[in-house]
Structure 1
Amino acid sequence: MRTVEYRQRIDVPLELVWTTVADFGSLLRWLPGNEDGTLTLNGEGIGMTRDLNLPTVGEVQHRLDALDPERNLLTYTLTRGRPLGMAAYSVTLSLASDHEQCNLHWQGEFDPQGGADADTMAKNLAGAYQNMSEGLESLLGNWRDQS
């Protein structure tokens, strides 16, 4: 498997970011460009799945593999679909507090579908992590106004 890492600090406290990402059904709120997508949750807790139909990647399913509030870490795996040409995919998002900011660390592993360019896929995946990080900051960035 190929590994892609992406780190970004956003101007939002860890607690707000964690509350949002720990809600496995919240993705469409902070995934830019997919406002017209659909999301359906199946099950509860570890092992639950979310079925997505997204304008950017089509139909995919993710399974929640880890949700650790003590370590501010979640992991999910692609169980259906081939977004960005991936045959297999798993990602871990871990959060760390930096005063009133949050450091996001995305670590994804993927296998390219036959013939797909792994370097291009890695670049696109890093871009997706950046997009999601910025989406979280955009969604939650007015937290000071609400406190």
Structure 2
Amino acid sequence: MPRIYVSAVIDAPVERVWATARDFNGHRDWHPVIADSTIEDGLRSDTVGCVRNFGIKGAGRLREQLVSFSDRDHSYTYTILESPLPLTGYVATFRLTPVTEGNRCFGEWWAEFDCAPEDLPGLREQVGRNTFAAGFEALARSLRD
């Protein structure tokens, strides 16, 4: 089962970064590839079991379900229910940890999934570079603005 892992140090305190990132539907406000996003069935975006339905600019729609959420650990885990990507069994976790020196935090974002071997290089680019790494860069930038 492939695993994609991306980490970043963000120059802001974990509480400030989490205040933005904790909203499971808030990625539409800071992530550069998200065209639009809604939480289905009127649930709150921090409710385990809620489903976000969102569009990716030029790449279709996804539905993802929140499977765990922790303000204490500054983390959440979600799974893909529907996607145009050639993968199955996708489970991802987003987590922030305070950096003990300075007002910074350490971000981690990883996913495990199944796919055909020939699809893995493209998925590493799409998920690792274009989603996780680009997301961390945009999140950090949104906190500077």
Q: TM-score range by the shorter chain?
A: 0.7 to 0.9
Distance 2:125 2:57 in 1: 20
- Residue 138 of structure 2 aligns with which residue? 135
- After TM superposition, which residue ranges in structure 1, 4 or more long, deviate above 3 angstroms? none
TM-aligned CA deviation for residue 108 of structure 1: 0.7
Matched, 1:80 2:82: yes
TM-aligned CA deviation for residue 120 of structure 1: 3.1
Q: Secondary structure at the match of 1:70?
A: coil
The letter of the residue matching 1:38 is: D
Q: Identity rate of aligned residues, in percent?
A: 23
TM-aligned CA deviation for residue 116 of structure 1: 4.2
- Residue 40 of structure 1 aligns with which residue? 38
- Residue 125 of structure 1 aligns with which residue? 127
Q: Secondary structure at the match of 1:25?
A: coil
Distance 1:10 1:80 in 2: 31
Distance 2:65 2:71 in 1: 18
1:61-120 CA distance string (max 9 Å, x none): 01011111111111111011133x2233111011111131111011111212x5642133
Distance 2:126 2:83 in 1: 16
Task: Provide structure 1 residue ranges, at least 5 long, that are not aligned to the other structure.
Answer: 143-147
The letter of the residue matching 1:31 is: H
Name the TM-score, length of structure 1 as normaliser: 0.85
- Residue 110 of structure 1 aligns with which residue? 113
Task: Provide structure 2 residue ranges, at least 5 long, that are not aligned to the other structure.
Answer: none
